[in-house]
Structure 1
Amino acid sequence: MTKFATFAVALGLSASTALAGGYVAPVVDVAPVVVDTKPASSNAGLIVPALLLLGVAAAVAADNNDDDDDDTTN
């Protein structure tokens, strides 16, 4: 019985020193989330030349110059 009492005292003393500071919740450091947002603007580098090309194509298609008639008989 003395061996059991000695073991219980040793276990009790080691347990009290292991928990001497009490329970401390672990600190979890969370890194902030960085969201890369792009501005809501149109890409003028492609849209402006495309519109100019479309305008030139429409002007050429609408040209009604009938100079191809070489009918010189009056």
Structure 2
Amino acid sequence: MKKLLLATATVFLATQTFAGNLVEPMMEPEVVEAATGSSGGAMIVPILMIVLMAAAIASGGNDTPPPQV
């Protein structure tokens, strides 16, 4: 009796996995990146580094100790 119930439950569970209609797959739209027209943004970082290094060099270099009172 147990084997009959187990076989019946197995058949019912197996048939439920195939229920439903065939549905066409949903295709995602293709993403196309637009090319940038300017490459001026690539020059900002090197120019900024040169300005910062020039400022550091201009502000430093004072090796004399402060006068004592």
Pairwise same-fold verdict (TM > 0.5)? no
User: Which is higher, the Rg of structure 1 or of structure 2?
Assistant: 1
TM-score by length of 1: 0.33
TM-score by length of 2: 0.35
